[in-house]
């Protein structure tokens, strides 16, 4: 099979970098162009199997470039997939009329993006099934892009907000808000994307007194970026965030050399000592595990499953076990990961999330695990308490497919009423809700004796570790951060329903 190559044409540097890393990590040969002219120059000497085409570009836009390529016999049959921040039926029709073979909406879903590309290429994986050497980890890259995005956004929005609205350069502002709309959601800032879309519509339509509305809109964007910058600095700048990991001995099992190095690098940053015991999997004994404060086991590989068999064969010992796993492996009853693991991290894993879960596992090493409840004739039930209707529409169908009944609450008081009157078996609870906050709801729940062991999964808006620590301290069983994959929530709530109660209320 010929080596699959992809050309990405996008004037947004952050989009280019993110898409390039995701595709390069999947084994594709990736080239990039920042505008139509660069793309035409590259195509004179390169024949990619697929072109990812941003529709909204200054100068020659993606639609015009696509028409040119379709008119050229040498590129007439090249796969071209549109990339755009717009998502209306009319936009899709315009892309197809210009000659695009497909359509991917920005912000891209980092979990599904590569699979979409494979499907466009006929379901093929990367050439020869090889993954190639990654040029960087996409999860750590997301943090880098996120920091840059919110810093640049705060600076740009502040400058625009201080400009006389009667002197606005509409074309320049359209490019800026288009950039915000296209990448904000991918980087974990859906509010930025939503407000940017509103501003972009306003700038295009220019109704009566639009300048003053636009000025107010950029002031609001400045507040969003400023709040995001403050929250991000709390996460990345907290010197004592992982203090409990300093000097701890970490055993890692089932990782290949590249992943083991990445795990080791993460723990090295916080002063923990990592030892790779993967080579001992065939005859792993308790002597090898005893010196360590935590075992991190990769359940995504055959080597990891072999290590798991060795761990299971040992007598029960007081060592917390943290699993790095796919969803399917975690829920595989034959492996019984959930019964022995204190916690788990789903792939693709983020370095900061791994460290936070590791610290929690060591801190809660003696946390009791409730036995799995006996089978019940009636269905299990879950309360979803979140003021965002999208969250309900995402989670309810997936939980219903598992035979779980769902109740909905859109504010804190409504959530407390449902818990009091209907008695759900578990709660998915957003921290930031109107009227009564999620943390207040959590403390009210735990005041009642019969609710001391009610499983509660907290949702946080972003990775604000202070909120997570507070929620766990008040008695939350687990947490997950937005934006999230709905399947990840289902995995965690399924585990909680099966009987694992976390640490419970802490003194």
Using 50, 70 and 90 to split pLDDT, how confident is the model at 254?
A: confident
In this prediction, residues 368-373 reach a mean pLDDT of 42
Q: How many CB atoms lie within 10 A of CB 473?
A: 14
Residue 183: exposed, middle, or buried by beta-carbon count in 10 A (0-12, 13-18, 19+)? buried
Summarised one tens digit per residue, pLDDT across range 152-171 is 888 889 899 999 999 999 98
Whether the pLDDT of residue 376 is over 70: the answer is no
Kindly report which listed range (44-53, 240-249, 422-431, 445-454) carries the lowest average pLDDT score: 240-249
pLDDT tens track for 95-138: 889 999 988 877 677 667 888 898 898 854 444 333 333 344 44
What integer pLDDT is reported at residue 217 of this predicted model?
94
Question: Which token pair is 251?
Answer: 């055993």
Q: Is the confidence at residue 235, as pLDDT, over 50? A: no
- Which of these ranges, 25-34, 105-114, 490-499, has the smallest mean pLDDT? 105-114
- State both tokens at 51: 């072109």
Express as a percent the part of the chain with pLDDT over 70: 78
Q: Is the pLDDT of residue 58 over 90?
A: no
Task: Please give the helix or strand (H or E) that residue 198 lies within, else none.
Answer: helix 190-205
293-323 per-position pLDDT tens digit? 898 988 877 777 777 766 666 654 567 889 8
Strands 5-9, 29-33: pairing is parallel
Q: Would you state the pLDDT for residue 427?
A: 96
What is the spatial distance between Cα 105 and Cα 73, in angstroms, rounded to a whole number?
A: 28
Name the residue with higher pLDDT: 379 or 210.
210
Question: What mean pLDDT comes out for the span 20-48?
Answer: 87
| 416 Cβ contact list (under 8 Å, min separation 6) | 436, 441, 444, 445
What pLDDT does residue 144 have? 64
pLDDT score at 335: 61
Split at pLDDT 50, 70, 90, the class of 216 is: very high
pLDDT: which is higher, 347 or 233: 347
**Which H or E run includes 382?**
strand 380-385
Q: What is the pLDDT of residue 360?
A: 87
- Taking only the tens place, the pLDDT of each residue in 220-230 is 999 998 887 77
Is the model's pLDDT at 492 over the cut of 80? Answer: yes
Report the C-alpha gap between 477 and 452 in whole angstroms: 10
The pair of three-digit structure tokens given for residue 436, joined into one six-digit string: 């009564």
Predicted TM-score (pTM) of the model is 0.54
Is residue 32 within 8 Å of 5, Cβ to Cβ? no
- pLDDT category at 64 given cuts 50, 70, 90 is very high
Task: Kindly report whether the peptide bond that precedes residue 446 is cis, defined as omega within 30 degrees of 0.
Answer: no
Measured distance CA(255)–CA(324) in Å, rounded: 10
pLDDT number for residue 307: 72
pLDDT in tens, 421-453: 999 999 999 887 777 788 889 989 988 878 888
What pLDDT was estimated at residue 489? 87
Which pairs count as long-range contacts for 127-133, CB under 8 Å and 24+ apart, including other chains? 127/1, 127/2, 127/3, 127/4, 127/27, 127/28, 128/1, 130/27, 131/25, 131/26, 131/27, 132/24, 132/25, 132/26, 132/27, 132/28
């Amino acid at each position: 099979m010929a080596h699959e190559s992809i050309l990405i044409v996008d004037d947004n540097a952050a989009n280019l970098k993110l898409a390039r890393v995701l595709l390069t990590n999947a084994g594709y040969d990736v080239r990039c162009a920042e505008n139509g002219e660069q793309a035409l120059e590259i195509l004179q000497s390169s024949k990619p199997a697929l072109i990812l085409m941003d529709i909204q570009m200054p100068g020659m836009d993606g639609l015009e470039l696509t028409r040119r390529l379709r008119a050229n016999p040498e590129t007439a049959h090249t796969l071209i997939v549109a990339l755009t921040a717009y998502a209306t039926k009319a936009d899709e029709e315009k892309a197809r009329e210009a000659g695009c073979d497909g359509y991917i909406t920005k912000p891209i879903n980092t979990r599904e993006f590569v699979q979409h590309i494979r499907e466009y290429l006929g379901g093929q994986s990367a050439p020869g099934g090889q993954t190639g050497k990654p040029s960087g980890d996409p999860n750590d890259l997301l943090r880098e892009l996120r920091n840059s995005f919110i810093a640049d956004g705060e600076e740009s929005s502040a400058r625009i907000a201080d400009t006389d609205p009667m002197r606005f350069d509409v074309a320049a502002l359209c490019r800026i808000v288009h950039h915000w709309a296209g990448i904000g959601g991918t980087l974990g800032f859906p509010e930025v994307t939503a407000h940017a879309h509103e501003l972009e519509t306003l700038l295009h339509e220019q109704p009566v007194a639009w300048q003053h509305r636009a000025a107010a809109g950029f002031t609001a964007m400045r507040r969003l970026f400023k709040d995001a910058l403050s929250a991000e600095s709390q996460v990345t700048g907290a010197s004592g965030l992982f203090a409990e990991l300093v000097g701890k001995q970490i055993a890692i099992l089932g990782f290949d050399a590249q992943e083991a190095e990445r795990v080791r690098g993460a723990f090295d940053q916080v002063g923990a000592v990592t030892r790779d015991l993967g080579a001992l999997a065939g005859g792993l004994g308790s002597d090898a595990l005893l010196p360590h404060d935590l075992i991190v086991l990769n359940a995504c590989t055959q080597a990891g499953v072999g290590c798991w068999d060795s761990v299971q064969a040992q007598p029960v010992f007081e060592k917390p076990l943290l699993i790095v796993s796919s969803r399917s492996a975690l829920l595989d009853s034959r492996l019984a990961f959930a019964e022995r693991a204190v916690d788990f991290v789903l792939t693709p894993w983020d370095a900061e999330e791994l460290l936070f879960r590791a610290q929690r596992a060591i801190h809660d090493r003696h946390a009791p695990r409730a036995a799995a409840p006996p089978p019940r004739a009636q269905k299990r039930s879950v309360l979803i308490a979140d003021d965002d209707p999208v969250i309900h529409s995402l989670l309810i169908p997936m939980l219903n497919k598992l035979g779980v009944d769902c109740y909905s609450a859109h504010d804190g008081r409504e959530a407390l009423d449902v818990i009091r009157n209907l008695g759900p078996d578990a709660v998915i609870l957003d921290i930031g809700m109107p009227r009564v906050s999620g943390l207040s709801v959590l403390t009210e729940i735990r005041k009642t004796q019969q609710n001391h062991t009610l499983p509660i999964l907290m949702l946080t808006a972003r990775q604000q570790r202070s909120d997570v620590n507070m929620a766990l301290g008040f008695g939350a069983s687990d947490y997950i951060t937005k934006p999230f994959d709905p399947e990840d929530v289902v995995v965690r709530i399924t585990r909680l329903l099966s009987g694992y109660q976390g640490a419970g209320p802490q003194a």
